[in-house]
Chain A
């Protein structure tokens, strides 16, 4: 069972966790990840990010996220996965993304959650603009994010 939700409003971790568990009654492990808006730029200088603006390609984003979850399931079979990704204007400190995987044993839940998160950053039609003391800047794909997905392709 794969659930994808791309939306503007915030998510409640407890609600998402409960929903995931209801889809995976025989699971013995749940791993989840929450991404937050940092107020730091990538060079971690004294400049501050006030908020980000996230845009996406509605329809294609959901399809790509589902495909990433299916690929993760082929490599690390699990019982259920849930991805919530927010779009729109998000203040520093806000929750951006929730990725959770429920599986029989912990190893696949850890691996699949990380796989989904890594590919979400490099293979889904989502774009982030930082707005802060340096003005407005579109965030490019980061090299370490690309390295993270390459690692899965080489292993």
Chain B
């Protein structure tokens, strides 16, 4: 199982801040989002596939094509605006 977290505008698009997905072999953040197309609100997949969101696995930044492992916590992060 993969725990998926959405933050800020992405959470609003998703209508939730987290969900769980079944782990698939060779899964990456990009393949995960592609598998969500048609299942979750279009605004969410559009933003994830075309905007500049970043990804973290287990609170460490990773690339969109890095391999995930079963049990990972994957977070999709819009551009930061703290301070």
**Residue B38 at the chain A interface, CB threshold 8 Å:** no
* B 42-60 contacts with A by CB, 8 A: 56, 59
Shortest distance between the CB of B51 and any CB in chain A (Å): 10
Instruction: Please give the number of chain B residues whose Cβ is less than 8 angstroms from any Cβ of chain A in the complex.
Output: 15
**Band of interface residues on A:** 20 to 34
The answer to whether A125 touches B80, judged by C-beta atoms less than 8 angstroms apart, is: yes
The answer to whether A127 touches B78, judged by C-beta atoms less than 8 angstroms apart, is: yes
List B contacts of A89 (CB < 8 A). Answer: none
**Residue A141 at the chain B interface, CB threshold 8 Å:** yes
The answer to whether A121 touches B82, judged by C-beta atoms less than 8 angstroms apart, is: yes
The answer to whether B56 touches A127, judged by C-beta atoms less than 8 angstroms apart, is: no
Specify the chain B residue showing the minimal Cβ separation from A58.
Answer: B59
Q: With A57-B59, A57-B75, A138-B78 in contact, is A127–B7 under 8 Å at CB?
A: yes
* Complexed CA–CA distance, A145 and B8 (Å): 19
